Chains A and B, each alone.
Chain A
Amino acid sequence: MSADDWAPATERPIDAGDAGAAEAFNETLGHDLEFSPARRKHRRREWVQLLLDALHYRRTQVGLAMFLFIVAIAAVGPHVAPYSPTEFVVAPYAKPSAIAKLGGDNLGRDVLTRVLYGGRSVLILATIATTVGMILGVSLGLTAGYARTAIDEGIMRLLDVVLAFPSIVLVLLMVSVLGPRPWLIVLIVGVTHAPPLARVVHGVTQDVRQRDFVEAAESLGVSHLKIAFTEILPNITSPLVVEFGLRLTYSIGTIASLSFLGFGMQPPAADWGLMINENRMGLIIQPYAVFVPVMLIAILTIGVNLFSDGIGHALIGLDRDTGSA
């Protein structure tokens, strides 16, 4: 049991995919890295194979379909919307009619139009936030895992401090000072992803640094940092795909929640989280203005989670196969 295994599990493990990712990390490393330089050529093919394998699972298919449905709405929606998202079309909280198929919102704007426009912001912001988090987490984890004890301990302790804040609380803290700006939200949500990711990568890096090909590279005088990024990183890309999916689920949840609280996208933007906030007083008269965005956020988060869980399953299966071969 390595020191890191025993560190307090300060983040809630997410689900099968998460456990699977950790397991897969170790399994990949168990047999892959010894041959790392030689096998790098096949890396891309294995990556494609992973996605193909994942698609055998029903949950991956369903998850992908749900995700693509939302992406389609966000991509095509604004081009087919009947009105402008800020145009006043009907009476406030008007019931669905021939003019407004899903009725009106709190100001009498067309709910259907705003729904068609409202998916872009959350999709884009969540994707960037997740990418920022991946870059931060992986870099910090690799650096800490490879550095000498003092720096290692320092980085990991600081990450523990960030872990003590629920992500929404940390974003609220920063927003209270700098205001609800998209770049700030993206950055802070990214920062909250870093500690758990860094932990996983850190543990793996520590295991790996005693291995033959790393020691060989070290004796050739290759710098530690270069080894970390050129020898170790290419071998953990597949598990990082799973992590990306899980982190994306979280980013979407946090960013939608922020909009719902009124600290994300600002009026008059059309955004699903914000729409829910604006229209929830009319829940009894005109439920569609709340119900439809709620359902779309649910479809999006569930879809991404199912999809990444499927990849997690495929990853474990893939490793077992190659492991026994």
Chain B
Amino acid sequence: MPALLKIILRRVALGLLTLLLVSVLVFAATQAMPGDTASAILGRAATPERLAVLREQLGLNRPIATQYFTWLGGIVRGDPGNSLVGTEEPVMQLLGPRIVNTAALVVAAAFWSFPLSILIGSLSGLFRDRSFDSSVSVGSLALAALPEFVLGLVLILLLAVQVLHVFPAVSMVNPQLSIWSQMHNLWLPAITLGLACVPYIVRMLRGSMIEVLESEYVQMARLKGMRERVVLQRHALPNAIIPLIQVIALNLAWLAGGVVTVEYLFNYPGIGSALVDAVRNRDVPLIQAIVLLIAAVYVFLNLTADILTILISPRLRTGLR
């Protein structure tokens, strides 16, 4: 299938191009701004001597293109530079354990919320316009509207502080131990993050379920006299599942961004709270690395979902431009 391979390669190339542009944008926003990163970092503490030292350290005296390629080269080699704050640790050393923690949080959130939302969404499509469907509809509208930190605070008030006292309100993660051995710190952030995903998955699944149920092949199966259960199992569900790949990829990508406020709220030591701290400290190399990482996760997940979709759905394989 050389044609198929060509399409996939084109998609990969497009993904790489997007990544490259993303890196240009991140770099341009932080390092190439009018005004000087060094004086922005030092703020009121800026003296001519300190400015000169910091400019040298950041390589701000070199041409902007050289700065960009040096930086990009470092990223590609897995070394986005050193933090500007405190002990000036290498960024990767700072981020390593935090990436693991955030990944654990995202996985925990997806683990409970994706299957549940898929179930609710399918049922909602199946019982379209009945009372179950309309209450799910209003519920997910409300849930979709709430910012994550509001959702998290409602949960804290209900489950940790005021009404019940089931969970700790703040994560006290021991950095010496693996996050899996201190699961109690994961519960509330994972519930919050997972809940924020529910309405989107429910919506998409409901939509694709309705589309499949109204399709000709399902009508045909019914006309053949198949039992409804068999129609659903053999024809409806497998086809409603295809868009699921996109759904899962999109929501995983979104979770990677949604961690910012949730981690900050629960004081959870992941990349989201690291980003908030880095912005507060104007720790430019750390900010660049985290923002690039979040955007790269998004591009990568989208790319994977697209390729998987092309591979498994014959209709798209032939219908592509």
Partners in one complex: yes
Please give the residue numbers on chain A whose beta carbons come within 8 Å of chain B beta carbons, in ascending order. 1, 3, 6, 8-17, 19, 59, 157-158, 160-166, 168-169, 172-178, 249, 252-254, 256-257, 260-263, 276, 280, 283-284, 287, 290-291, 294, 297-298, 301-302, 304-306, 309
> From A7, which residue of chain B is reached at the shortest CB distance?
B306
Neighbouring A residues of B265 by C-beta, 8 Å: 260
- Check if B204 sits within 8 Å of A13, measured CB to CB: yes
Interface flag for B40 (CB, 8 Å): yes
Interface centre among B144, B153, B246 (most CB of A within 10 A): B144
- Check if A173 sits within 8 Å of B287, measured CB to CB: yes
- Check if B250 sits within 8 Å of A260, measured CB to CB: no
Residue in A164, A174, A257, A294 whose CB lies within 8 Å of B299 = A164
- Check if B137 sits within 8 Å of A16, measured CB to CB: yes
Interface flag for B257 (CB, 8 Å): yes
Interface flag for B260 (CB, 8 Å): yes
Interface centre among B29, B141, B161, B256 (most CB of A within 10 A): B141
Give the complex CA separation of A174 and B265 in angstroms. Answer: 21
Question: How distant is B314 from chain A, measured CB to nearest CB, in Å?
Answer: 14
Neighbouring A residues of B157 by C-beta, 8 Å: 283, 287, 290-291, 294
> From A1, which residue of chain B is reached at the shortest CB distance?
B319
Give the complex CA separation of A15 and B197 in angstroms. Answer: 12
28 inter-chain pairs at a CB distance below 8 angstroms, sorted by A residue, are A8-B246, A9-B246, A12-B250, A59-B138, A161-B22, A164-B299, A165-B295, A168-B257, A168-B260, A169-B257, A169-B275, A172-B260, A173-B291, A176-B279, A177-B29, A177-B30, A177-B37, A253-B147, A256-B147, A256-B149, A257-B148, A260-B261, A276-B153, A280-B153, A287-B161, A304-B145, A305-B144, A306-B145
Contact A164-B154, Cβ < 8 Å, known A15-B144, A19-B203, A263-B279: no
Neighbouring B residues of A301 by C-beta, 8 Å: 145-147, 150
Question: How distant is A109 from chain B, measured CB to nearest CB, in Å?
Answer: 20
Give the complex CA separation of A276 and B151 in angstroms. Answer: 13
Residue in A59, A178, A254 whose CB lies within 8 Å of B141 = A59
Residue in A166, A261, A263 whose CB lies within 8 Å of B254 = A166
- Check if B145 sits within 8 Å of A283, measured CB to CB: no
Neighbouring B residues of A12 by C-beta, 8 Å: 200, 250-251, 254
Give the complex CA separation of A260 and B272 in angstroms. Answer: 14
Interface flag for B258 (CB, 8 Å): yes
- Check if A173 sits within 8 Å of B145, measured CB to CB: no
Interface flag for B294 (CB, 8 Å): yes
- Check if A164 sits within 8 Å of B298, measured CB to CB: yes
- Check if B161 sits within 8 Å of A283, measured CB to CB: yes
Interface flag for B186 (CB, 8 Å): no
Contact A294-B153, Cβ < 8 Å, known A19-B203, A168-B260: yes
Interface flag for B26 (CB, 8 Å): yes
Q: Is the interface of A mostly helix, strand, loop or mixed?
A: helix
Question: How distant is A199 from chain B, measured CB to nearest CB, in Å?
Answer: 14
Neighbouring B residues of A280 by C-beta, 8 Å: 153
Extra inter-chain contacts (4) besides given A164-B299, A176-B287, CB under 8 Å: A165-B257, A168-B261, A260-B264, A294-B153
Contact A158-B306, Cβ < 8 Å, known A168-B260, A173-B29: no
Size category of the B interface is 35 or more
Contact A298-B154, Cβ < 8 Å, known A16-B141, A161-B25, A169-B275: yes
Interface flag for B320 (CB, 8 Å): yes
Contact A283-B156, Cβ < 8 Å, known A168-B261, A256-B147: yes
Interface centre among A8, A13, A174 (most CB of B within 10 A): A8
Give the complex CA separation of A294 and B158 in angstroms. Answer: 13
Contact A260-B29, Cβ < 8 Å, known A164-B295, A165-B294, A176-B279: no
Question: How distant is B12 from chain A, measured CB to nearest CB, in Å?
Answer: 13
Interface flag for B106 (CB, 8 Å): no
- Check if A169 sits within 8 Å of B29, measured CB to CB: no
Question: How distant is B101 from chain A, measured CB to nearest CB, in Å?
Answer: 18
- Check if B257 sits within 8 Å of A261, measured CB to CB: no
Chain B residues 256 to 303 lying within 8 A of chain A, measured CB to CB, are 256-258, 260-261, 264-265, 275-276, 278-280, 282, 284, 287, 291, 294-295, 298-299, 302
Neighbouring A residues of B161 by C-beta, 8 Å: 283-284, 287
Contact A176-B246, Cβ < 8 Å, known A6-B321, A8-B306, A290-B153: no
Chain B residues 123 to 138 lying within 8 A of chain A, measured CB to CB, are 137-138
Interface flag for B5 (CB, 8 Å): no
Give the complex CA separation of A297 and B154 in angstroms. Answer: 12
Across the A-B interface, give the 5 residue pairs with the lowest CB-CB distance, nearest first.
A166-B257, A305-B145, A253-B147, A301-B145, A164-B295
Interface flag for B305 (CB, 8 Å): yes
Give the complex CA separation of A14 and B146 in angstroms. Answer: 12
- Check if A294 sits within 8 Å of B154, measured CB to CB: yes
Contact A3-B22, Cβ < 8 Å, known A12-B251, A19-B203, A166-B254: no
Neighbouring A residues of B145 by C-beta, 8 Å: 249, 253, 298, 301-302, 304-306
